[in-house]
A and B are shown apart, each in its own frame.
Chain A
Amino acid sequence: MSLLLDVDGLKTYLRAGSRIVQAVDDVSFQIKKGETVCLVGESGSGKSVCALSIIRLLPQGIATHPAGGIRFNFRHNEGEIEQVDMLTLQEERLREIRGSRIAMIFQEPMTSLNPVFTIGDQIIEALQLHWPHMSYDDARNRTIEALRQVQIPDAEQRVNEYPHRLSGGQRQRVMIAMAMACEPDLLIADEPTTALDVTVQAEILRLMKELQKNHGTSILFITHDFGVVSQMADQVAVMRRGKIVENGALDQVLHKPEHEYTKQLLAALPENLERDRHAFTIADASILENSGNAASVNSENSTTAGELLLQLRGLQVYFPIRTGVFRHTTGHVKAVDDVDMEIRRGEILALVGESGCGKTTLGRAILNLISPTAGEVAYQGAVINQLSGREFRPFRRQLQIIFQDPMSSLNPRLTVASTLVEPMAVHGIGADKEDRLSRAAAVLESVGLEEEHLWRYPHEFSGGQRQRIGIARALVLEPQFIVCDEVTSALDVSVQAEILKILLELRAQKNLTLLFITHNISVVEFLSDRMAVMREGKVLEFGNTADIGRAPQHEYTQRLLDAVPRVPVN
């Protein structure tokens, strides 16, 4: 195979105020014709900046390239091939290359299409820009053909649709169609499936591979997900702090990683944490047994014997759809539709589903943060969902929640100390302020933070640290039951592994019961004892995680589990 792109010693420096950030620092890799190179790394590792440098989309005032070369084999329309250096090329020549020879797909399908033009117009414009002699009808036919290729149903009709009429997955398909319409030699895909559900992701990945096979396009695929990497990549480059620490063929990087960082990343994957977990619970149980607390231990096997903590009976949460001048109710969005569920003390129950399936609403309805339309929530036998705010307050102490977004889940105006102490004061925990502060410090230490962090404000912490503070806030009230709403979705995989470990430790120490809401199947398989699969407000399947993982009964569960990109075990 012939070489298409040769990135050699690329450096990209970004200016932020008076500071210079070495976003990409001496990166070299090559892409051959028709192959897929995956750039993998955690957030802030410089992988997106690297991609934007190649297509020269970084703002000129901020980004500089002090060294390096990006040699690209530019194929003229007549077929002859010229090697150009993207870094020194003039803007007009760059415009010839962008779109027609190097195309790009972005992460967020919701914002990467212009909302005031139909999808057809946007693709036709791209086509006519690169082939000025193409007639409108030709361009339109090609557009329909491109949409058909990315499997948009009814392409002839949908070509006239505006972006807001399409779902996230369909928009990403349109983006791909737009990128592929000009038949580029190189497609840069910057986390193209991160914002999508796993079943949609599977389809998009399959589509990209198919198009690649048909057109012989090379793909530079940027992602943080090793599962996606193992499905897509021929070559893998692992990035960390602007440098490529390891570069090689897929098999070699996944199964015989040489660099310490690659090993760490792979070890942090929930799939690979599995073995550690069993070791952990058994070791932990034996320690507790020795100290005479065997009764409080809930190892994986004993969960079935745990007493009933929480019971949902026919729980419904409907949101009315109001239309017309008089805002009368014409229908309901059935966010949670007739859910029955039992949660036992000490177990981790995972609630799995794709976006919009009602899992978050269900979690909040249990805590009475959203009032259920019908049905009952019983906590230790007492029905709690019809209590008034005052009557419910004692239960607030027992039932807590940890949120997904560590940015918005902490009050930016309060120090960590105030955030942690106030709930204690409300529930009369601790004798005085001093006592509460020392309790808060102890809880902080139990989630791996330090006492001096008490006096900081949330914006001084990283995402992972904030999530720990979120856990600490839930823990200060010494609850029995915690709803964990997508707590690791916004985090890098190594931070995710730490948070999961903390949750498991706390569960073992305090005999906590967790409702773990997530869309990440591998986390579920690592963490949970039992799982419930939700779709369109209904629970489709409910049972032991191991059983469902081995033999899913419901057709949707099978599809969901199949769609999960997995790193093959060697």
Chain B
Amino acid sequence: MTETIKTPKGGSGYAKRILRETFFQLGARLGLYWIILLVLIAVFAPFIANSHPLIISIDGKLQSPALQHLTAADITLLGLFAVSVVMLVVRPRMTATVTLLFGTLVLIGGLSTLLVKPPQLTTYEQYRQQAELNIYDWAVWAPVPYSAKDYLRDSGDTGLEAPLEAGDRTHLFGTDENGADVLSRMVHAARIALGIGFVATGIAMFIGVIIGGLMGYFSGVTDMIGMRLVEIFEAIPTLFLLLTFVAFFGRSLYIMMVIIGITSWSGYARYIRAEFLKLRQQDFVQAAIACGTPLPSILFRHMLPNGIAPVLVGASFGVASAILAEATLSFLGLGLVDDPSWGQMLNQAVRSSTFNWWMAAFPGGAIFLTVFAYNLMGESMRDAIDPYLKKSAS
């Protein structure tokens, strides 16, 4: 043959096809839109809800207090987002994408931690008072002009106001017990909700798939030792472990993610083990062995895509339950001290003698929608990943 064979465009890539088919379904698309909205809110939180004006003009000179108060985490998120958008346009290879994203994370994260020094002491009321005194020629405020930790000291006692109760200030979702704006706190809490869900489930899936895969493929003694390990980890109560760690190491979001991750992998390991035990006997795996295919390829190219479906469905519930685990901790008062989180806000709904409906409805609704969105996507992905199901449905 003289002419060379080229991969036809669009026909390549298993993952691409699966994604296309997953989001062909309305439910999954709606779920995806919600998660994308959350991601945007999480990334641009400082520009959506901030007590510092975005731009002010004093005597003709422009300033941006919001930019000045950006933290290292803000800048890292913004940088990652920018790189992701560029890559969506350029579309490099899968490995390049992962390397680039990881590189950006390390680079920007490291640099900004070293270089970005936001003012240690923030006085939220300063700009409001200056605005009232007409010091600025003009000012552009964020859509929600309150920071998450702005307790409105200048306005006296503002704790637990229902939405739009105060005439002079606009709090669309009301205020919490400390007097902070609930909408603002919810916007900033989206970061924790997304982060804890993704990272904790990612860690759990990574460990679960590797251990479960090895158990299922090698079976025998490996399987026996692995299953005992699974049982040991299933016997550890996540909540008590978290409590212990919180007592020793203080309250850290990252420790929470890791602990939720390393205590919840056993379910994924069981799924993958069962699938691999079944797949191992399949002829196409035998054929791959007979072709001398190396072990990583057999495990991750031939077996994993055929056995991942239940794990993905499990993961969609896992993300949801990680969010709920964090909410539970916060609800029990063991979450982050001052940082906003949806669960912590739910806690405040019942804290005082009255039932503060806005503290339950809005954060609760956000948790519900997020959990629901992940479940919708998980279901749809399971259908897309299964060619047999698709064939019989058509």
Query: Is the Cβ of B387 less than 8 Å from the Cβ of A457?
Result: yes
In the bound complex, residues from chain B placing their C-beta under 8 Å from that of A473 are 287, 291
Closest CB-CB distance, A509 to chain B, in whole Å? Answer: 18
Q: In the complex, which of the residues A396, A399, A408 contacts B283, with contact meaning CB atoms closer than 8 Å? A: A408
A17 to B392, CA, bound (A): 9
In the bound complex, residues from chain A placing their C-beta under 8 Å from that of B8 are 455
Whether B14 is near chain A, meaning CB under 8 Å from some CB there, is: yes
Query: Is the Cβ of A17 less than 8 Å from the Cβ of B302?
Result: no
Binary A-proximity of B211-242 (CB < 8 A = 1, otherwise 0): 00000000000000000000000000000000
A501 to B333, CA, bound (A): 75
With A408-B282, A411-B302 in contact, is A434–B4 under 8 Å at CB?
yes
Binary B-proximity of A398-437 (CB < 8 A = 1, otherwise 0): 0111011100111111100100001100110000001001
Query: Is the Cβ of A477 less than 8 Å from the Cβ of B4?
Result: no
How many of B's residues come within 8 Å of A, CB to CB? Answer: 29
Least CB separation from B303: chain A residue: A411
Binary B-proximity of A359-384 (CB < 8 A = 1, otherwise 0): 00000100101000000000000000
Query: Is the Cβ of A422 less than 8 Å from the Cβ of B291?
Result: yes
Whether B248 is near chain A, meaning CB under 8 Å from some CB there, is: no
A412 to B303, CA, bound (A): 10
Q: In the complex, which of the residues A417, A422, A437, A441 contacts B297, with contact meaning CB atoms closer than 8 Å? A: A422
Whether A438 is near chain B, meaning CB under 8 Å from some CB there, is: yes
Whether B288 is near chain A, meaning CB under 8 Å from some CB there, is: yes
Query: Is the Cβ of B283 less than 8 Å from the Cβ of A423?
Result: no
A3 to B306, CA, bound (A): 55
Least CB separation from B4: chain A residue: A434
Task: Give residues of chain B (298-330) contacting chain A, Cβ–Cβ below 8 Å.
Answer: 301-302, 305-306
Query: Is the Cβ of B290 less than 8 Å from the Cβ of A426?
Result: no
Closest CB-CB distance, B308 to chain A, in whole Å? Answer: 9
Query: Is the Cβ of A400 less than 8 Å from the Cβ of B306?
Result: no
Whether A451 is near chain B, meaning CB under 8 Å from some CB there, is: yes
Least CB separation from B3: chain A residue: A438
Whether A84 is near chain B, meaning CB under 8 Å from some CB there, is: no
Task: Give residues of chain B (182-209) contacting chain A, Cβ–Cβ below 8 Å.
Answer: none
Binary A-proximity of B146-171 (CB < 8 A = 1, otherwise 0): 00000000000000000000000000
Query: Is the Cβ of B5 less than 8 Å from the Cβ of A399?
Result: no
A410 to B387, CA, bound (A): 13
Task: Give residues of chain A (446-495) contacting chain B, Cβ–Cβ below 8 Å.
Answer: 451, 454-455, 457, 459, 470, 473, 477
Query: Is the Cβ of A426 less than 8 Å from the Cβ of B391?
Result: no
With A369-B286, A396-B290 in contact, is A413–B5 under 8 Å at CB?
no
With A396-B292, A459-B387 in contact, is A409–B287 under 8 Å at CB?
yes
Question: For A367, A397, A403, which residue has the most chain B Cβ atoms within 10 angstroms?
Answer: A403
Query: Is the Cβ of A413 less than 8 Å from the Cβ of B306?
Result: yes
Task: Give residues of chain A (280-309) contacting chain B, Cβ–Cβ below 8 Å.
Answer: none
Whether B1 is near chain A, meaning CB under 8 Å from some CB there, is: yes
With A393-B292, A442-B1, A477-B291 in contact, is A405–B283 under 8 Å at CB?
yes
Query: Is the Cβ of A364 less than 8 Å from the Cβ of B286?
Result: yes
Whether B249 is near chain A, meaning CB under 8 Å from some CB there, is: no
Whether B289 is near chain A, meaning CB under 8 Å from some CB there, is: yes
Query: Is the Cβ of A369 less than 8 Å from the Cβ of B289?
Result: yes
Whether B394 is near chain A, meaning CB under 8 Å from some CB there, is: yes
Least CB separation from A405: chain B residue: B283
Closest CB-CB distance, A451 to chain B, in whole Å? Answer: 7
Query: Is the Cβ of B306 less than 8 Å from the Cβ of A412?
Result: yes
Least CB separation from A437: chain B residue: B5
Least CB separation from A400: chain B residue: B290
Closest CB-CB distance, A405 to chain B, in whole Å? Answer: 6
A50 to B8, CA, bound (A): 44
A441 to B4, CA, bound (A): 10
Closest CB-CB distance, B286 to chain A, in whole Å? Answer: 6
Q: In the complex, which of the residues B1, B292, B295, B305 contacts A441, with contact meaning CB atoms closer than 8 Å? A: B1
How many of A's residues come within 8 Å of B, CB to CB? Answer: 40
In the bound complex, residues from chain A placing their C-beta under 8 Å from that of B295 are 389
A442 to B284, CA, bound (A): 22
Q: In the complex, which of the residues B4, B286, B294, B305 contacts A438, with contact meaning CB atoms closer than 8 Å? A: B4
In the bound complex, residues from chain A placing their C-beta under 8 Å from that of B305 are 413
With A401-B287, A413-B305 in contact, is A426–B5 under 8 Å at CB?
no
A540 to B182, CA, bound (A): 84
Task: Give residues of chain B (339-394) contacting chain A, Cβ–Cβ below 8 Å.
Answer: 387-388, 391, 394
Least CB separation from A403: chain B residue: B283
Query: Is the Cβ of B286 less than 8 Å from the Cβ of A426?
Result: no
Closest CB-CB distance, B225 to chain A, in whole Å? Answer: 15
In the bound complex, residues from chain A placing their C-beta under 8 Å from that of B302 are 411, 414
With A422-B293, A438-B4, A454-B5 in contact, is A411–B288 under 8 Å at CB?
yes
Query: Is the Cβ of B306 less than 8 Å from the Cβ of A411?
Result: yes
Least CB separation from A370: chain B residue: B286
Closest CB-CB distance, A56 to chain B, in whole Å? Answer: 25
Closest CB-CB distance, B126 to chain A, in whole Å? Answer: 59
In the bound complex, residues from chain B placing their C-beta under 8 Å from that of A399 are 290
A401 to B305, CA, bound (A): 23
Closest CB-CB distance, B305 to chain A, in whole Å? Answer: 4
Least CB separation from A438: chain B residue: B1
A412 to B17, CA, bound (A): 13
In the bound complex, residues from chain B placing their C-beta under 8 Å from that of A364 are 286
With A413-B305, A451-B5, A454-B5 in contact, is A423–B292 under 8 Å at CB?
yes
Whether B11 is near chain A, meaning CB under 8 Å from some CB there, is: yes
A473 to B287, CA, bound (A): 9
Query: Is the Cβ of A434 less than 8 Å from the Cβ of B284?
Result: no
Query: Is the Cβ of A409 less than 8 Å from the Cβ of B283?
Result: yes
A198 to B101, CA, bound (A): 62
A434 to B2, CA, bound (A): 11
With A411-B302, A457-B387 in contact, is A423–B5 under 8 Å at CB?
no
Closest CB-CB distance, A412 to chain B, in whole Å? Answer: 5
Q: In the complex, which of the residues B5, B287, B290 contacts A434, with contact meaning CB atoms closer than 8 Å? A: B5
Task: Give residues of chain A (17-73) contacting chain B, Cβ–Cβ below 8 Å.
Answer: 17
Query: Is the Cβ of A441 less than 8 Å from the Cβ of B291?
Result: no
Least CB separation from A393: chain B residue: B292
A459 to B301, CA, bound (A): 18
Closest CB-CB distance, B361 to chain A, in whole Å? Answer: 43
With A369-B289, A427-B292 in contact, is A410–B284 under 8 Å at CB?
yes
In the bound complex, residues from chain B placing their C-beta under 8 Å from that of A369 are 286, 289-290
Closest CB-CB distance, B218 to chain A, in whole Å? Answer: 12
In the bound complex, residues from chain B placing their C-beta under 8 Å from that of A414 are 14, 301-302
Least CB separation from A454: chain B residue: B5
Question: For A369, A411, A470, which residue has the most chain B Cβ atoms within 10 angstroms?
Answer: A411
A451 to B301, CA, bound (A): 23
Closest CB-CB distance, A220 to chain B, in whole Å? Answer: 30
Least CB separation from A406: chain B residue: B283
Closest CB-CB distance, A142 to chain B, in whole Å? Answer: 43
A55 to B328, CA, bound (A): 61
Query: Is the Cβ of A401 less than 8 Å from the Cβ of B290?
Result: yes
In the bound complex, residues from chain B placing their C-beta under 8 Å from that of A451 are 5
Least CB separation from A404: chain B residue: B283
Least CB separation from A433: chain B residue: B7
Query: Is the Cβ of A426 less than 8 Å from the Cβ of B287?
Result: no
A258 to B192, CA, bound (A): 78
In the bound complex, residues from chain B placing their C-beta under 8 Å from that of A427 are 292
Task: Give residues of chain B (7-28) contacting chain A, Cβ–Cβ below 8 Å.
Answer: 7-8, 11, 14
Query: Is the Cβ of B293 less than 8 Å from the Cβ of A367?
Result: no
In the bound complex, residues from chain A placing their C-beta under 8 Å from that of B288 are 411, 422
Q: In the complex, which of the residues B11, B287, B294, B297 contacts A403, with contact meaning CB atoms closer than 8 Å? A: B287
Query: Is the Cβ of A396 less than 8 Å from the Cβ of B4?
Result: no
Known: A422-B293, A473-B291. 10 other contacts (CB 8 A): A396-B290, A397-B292, A408-B284, A411-B302, A412-B306, A414-B14, A414-B301, A414-B302, A457-B387, A459-B391
Closest 3 CB pairs of A and B: A396-B292, A409-B283, A423-B291
Can you list 24 A-B contacts (CB < 8 A)? A367-B290, A369-B286, A396-B290, A397-B292, A401-B290, A408-B283, A410-B284, A411-B302, A412-B284, A412-B306, A422-B288, A422-B301, A423-B292, A426-B292, A426-B297, A434-B4, A434-B5, A437-B4, A437-B5, A438-B4, A438-B5, A454-B5, A455-B8, A473-B287
